[in-house]
Structure 1
Amino acid sequence: MDKKPHLKPYIYGMLAGFGAIGLSIALFFLFYRFNGLQKGISLLTGILMPFIYGGVIAYLLRPFCNRIEDLLNRYLPARYRKTVDGIAVAASVLFGLLVVYALFMLIIPQLINSIITLSTNFQSQLDLFMAWLTRFFADNEAVYRFLNDSYDTLRDTFTSWLRTSVMPSIRQIVSGVGVSVLNVLVVLKNVLIGVIAAVYFLSTRKRFAAQSKLLLYSIFRPHWADLILEEIAYIDRTFGGFIIGKIVDSAIIGVLCYIVCVIVGFPSALLVSVIIGVTNVIPFFGPFIGAVPATLLILITDPIKALWFVGFIFILQQLDGNVIGPKILGNTTGLSSFWVLFSILLFGGLWGFVGMIVGVPLFAVLYDLVRKFALWGLNRNGQNDKLKVYHDAFGNPDDPAAPESPAPDSSDHPAT
């Protein structure tokens, strides 16, 4: 008796062909309509910017909100438990607003004072600096003559720069102040709506998580849904642990810098410490980015102290990189120094300052996905012995932040 032909291989082949054709069309559209796609993404991002701000604010405040909620549930009587969520959300949002307000009140007056000092005292400070240099190199006639000639050239160049570059730029700024005010108002509007959206995100975070989990299990098989949830948990640990830990680490560095600046007597101690603390959020390049403007601020007032400040920043960053940072951050990403540098340059070039901050945890997530896919492929192809050879040659890296998950069962794969 003739057996019925098996149609499944043909159906799978047909679907694979249609999928390949559809993917080719999508890639063609992506490459040749990239400008239009960028405009569409920019338009959508501009519309949803308040919710993006709200999501970022809520994510940063979520650990604080959870901690307050746990404390209230532990110590409040049972009859007040219904108000715990509201109190925790209100306290966390108020805490975030107070931190931002305090930073602005600390930075803006110091920044204005430094600009005024630079504009009024630059010529006199330059004269004092050049006088100190000439006294220091008085015994060297060649250097002494070079400094005198350089001083005249520098003074003429600075005067010309003020006349030809700074003043026209100020006129352009004044003429475009209306557009600048409008842009600032748009940003303030987005931030204000973002704060309101953050309140909703925080108050409904548990419901959103439960709804997302139900939707996930309604679309995927339990095995794949569990794997997706594991990866989401890893993403949350990586981003949350790195960003929150980096903020705490930078706050500690800023406080230590302020204490030393006050003790030693560095000028503009508060503004300099804020600059060092804020730029320290950027991995690898942050200390160098913050040290340049901070040193220039001190150089305006006291060149000798500026040299001492450079040495102090070097010691402080060594303390942060070898003691404070590892204690707070631990091994949250599991990336080597090469991949940290690569991720900062890549995402910094794509997204600027934000990319330099989120580039390391984002690349750590991509790296983890590639690692798990490679483990699954080796297990599926029966090549686990090659993994053992690799571990024998280079060691098995300790990666507690990303424990090796079991490879997906090949029986759940539609192509097998």
Structure 2
Amino acid sequence: MKLAELWASPKYGKVITRKILLIITFTILLIFGLFNTQTLLNVFFTILNAATPFLSGIFVAYILNVIVKAFEEHVFSFLNRKAYKWWIRIRRPFCIFLSILVLAGLFTMFLWFIVPELIHSLSTLADHVPGYVASITKWVNETLAYYNITSEQINFLQIDWSSLITQATQITSDFLGNIYNMTVSVASVLFTFSMSMIFSFYMLGRKERLMRGMRSILYGFLPAHRARRIIELSAISNRIFSSFVAGQMTESLIIGFLFYIGTTALQLPYAMLISCFVGMLSLIPMVGFYVGVAIGCIILVMVNPIYVVYFIIFTLIEQQVEGNLIYPRVVGTSIGLPGIWVLFSVLVFGGLFGIMGILLGIPSMSVVYTLFNQNLTNRLKARHITDDVINEPVDVDSLLKKDTGSPLKKLSLHLRRKRLHRAKQQEARTREAEKQMEELDHKAQQESEAAQEGPPETDKEE
């Protein structure tokens, strides 16, 4: 059948028209975007700035929802089983209020206890950097003298210590200045923060109604199976993201607390500063913890190199405790992503989008991995492929004994079989297409014959 006849057919005409319109629209938008990139970026950032309170409210509501669910489903589960009417009425507002108290308490503790200690530690570290560098220089010289290493043997290690001290002092001063600027800039976003909190409270209080409204929109404008699939994907994503957020935050708090107890018990200097670095960087799976430990080692080696040995020994002990007791119970398989894909997410998304890319890329990759596994499982079930078939070993010796020809002859035979198989598949597809075209031709011929017969006899007599 010709393209014009296929386009005019009621079965394929609308589909072809819709696809052509989509291609034309996409092409026009792509050309417009390529020639107006800066304008589109300006519009995007303007909309993003205007929607900052809304997006921040969604983020805060998502974090608070983890705490609210913990109160509703675990802390006060005994009241849920009783099904008291008064509890059903006040359950959500009361749990939101308790969640706010928890966050406010943590924030207050951070401001009153941790921030002053951090500022004091950073100031002390900045003041003592020249002395620490001088101590390291003296220790290196004594070590070289002990092993009879002359200056001629280490000419390639000549270092301008005065320049290094100046740069280290300048970097520390700049870092303290950046902390001050960040503290001052917090005051300029109080309004946005307040609006975000109000919006997040509204979302938490009416999340069931909001979810019902979103489901109604999906079922109202999309086919039922597509709407259901979107809801399932959203549920999977929510489960993975919430588990990741709750698990990583809890693990980071526990690690920071353990490091503070350990470094304080060992009487290591800058215990609070090192513990905060290790705890906060532990939010980044796999690599964040080791980066925090490396920063702690750098700080301690400037004070006394022997402290690094104590710190590393404590880190190894803490890793055993965390790996065997804490991680399986707190985080477990919350994201369901193998370690190789976690590392891939950290490297790729971190390189593209920075810290936020790392934090959001890992659960996003977990969602993709989960959906891919579901699709793969369904395909294997449809083809009746079991684990025995997948794990069936290949007996190479028996295969080589069957074919006594040369390797080139075996390869030629294999390629010939593949060509024959592809030819049979192509022939089957061609026959199916010809059959469909014949049916369409026959249907079109019947329609044309019916049109040529003219009106009924009664109409002619009239």
TM-score, normalising length from structure 2? 0.71
Q: Deviations over 1:262-318 (max 9, x none)?
A: 221111212211211111110121012212322233233332112331343344345
How has the CA–CA distance of structure 1 residues 115 and 66 changed in structure 2, closer, same or farther, with 3 Å as cutoff? closer
Unaligned ranges ≥5, structure 1:
395-416
- Give the match for residue 142 of structure 1: 149
- Asked if 1:288 corresponds to 2:290, the answer is yes
Alpha-carbon distance in 2 for matches of 1:137, 1:250: 41
How has the CA–CA distance of structure 1 residues 84 and 337 changed in structure 2, closer, same or farther, with 3 Å as cutoff? closer
- Give the match for residue 237 of structure 1: 239
Give the one of 101, 112, 115 matched to 1:105. Answer: 112
- Shift of residue 192, structure 1, vs aligned partner: 2.8
Alpha-carbon distance in 2 for matches of 1:392, 1:36: 55
- Give the match for residue 58 of structure 2: 55
- Give the match for residue 313 of structure 1: 315
- Shift of residue 134, structure 1, vs aligned partner: 3.6
SS at match of 1:335: coil
Aligned partner letter, 1:55: I
How has the CA–CA distance of structure 1 residues 234 and 160 changed in structure 2, closer, same or farther, with 3 Å as cutoff? closer
**Kept in 1: contact 2:129–2:165 (CA 8 A):** no
Unaligned ranges ≥5, structure 2:
1-7, 394-462
- Give the match for residue 194 of structure 2: 192
- Give the match for residue 27 of structure 2: 24
- Give the match for residue 370 of structure 2: 368
Size of the alignment, in residue pairs? 381
Alpha-carbon distance in 2 for matches of 1:211, 1:147: 73
Give the one of 96, 99, 104 matched to 2:103. Answer: 96
- Give the match for residue 401 of structure 2: none
SS at match of 2:55: helix
Alpha-carbon distance in 1 for matches of 2:154, 2:316: 28
User: What pairs with 1:7-406 in structure 2 (closer than 5 Å)?
Assistant: 7-70=10-73, 71=76, 73=80, 77-79=84-86, 81-142=88-149, 153-161=159-167, 183-317=185-319, 319-321=321-323, 324-372=326-374, 378=379, 384=383, 391-392=390-391
Aligned partner letter, 2:298: L
Q: Deviations over 1:14-35 (max 9, x none)?
A: 2122222223333444455444
Aligned partner letter, 1:42: F
Amino-acid identity (%): 24
Aligned partner letter, 2:167: W
Aligned partner letter, 1:343: S
Question: What is the root-mean-square deviation of aligned Cα atoms in Å?
Answer: 3.6
Alpha-carbon distance in 2 for matches of 1:10, 1:50: 46
- Shift of residue 74, structure 1, vs aligned partner: 5.1
Aligned partner letter, 2:343: L
Alpha-carbon distance in 1 for matches of 2:172, 2:217: 60
**Higher radius of gyration, 1 or 2:** 2
Alpha-carbon distance in 1 for matches of 2:11, 2:388: 39
- Shift of residue 146, structure 1, vs aligned partner: 7.3
**Kept in 2: contact 1:238–1:332 (CA 8 A):** yes
**Kept in 2: contact 1:250–1:281 (CA 8 A):** yes
- Shift of residue 12, structure 1, vs aligned partner: 1.2
**Kept in 2: contact 1:242–1:333 (CA 8 A):** yes
- Give the match for residue 402 of structure 2: none
How has the CA–CA distance of structure 1 residues 180 and 99 changed in structure 2, closer, same or farther, with 3 Å as cutoff? closer
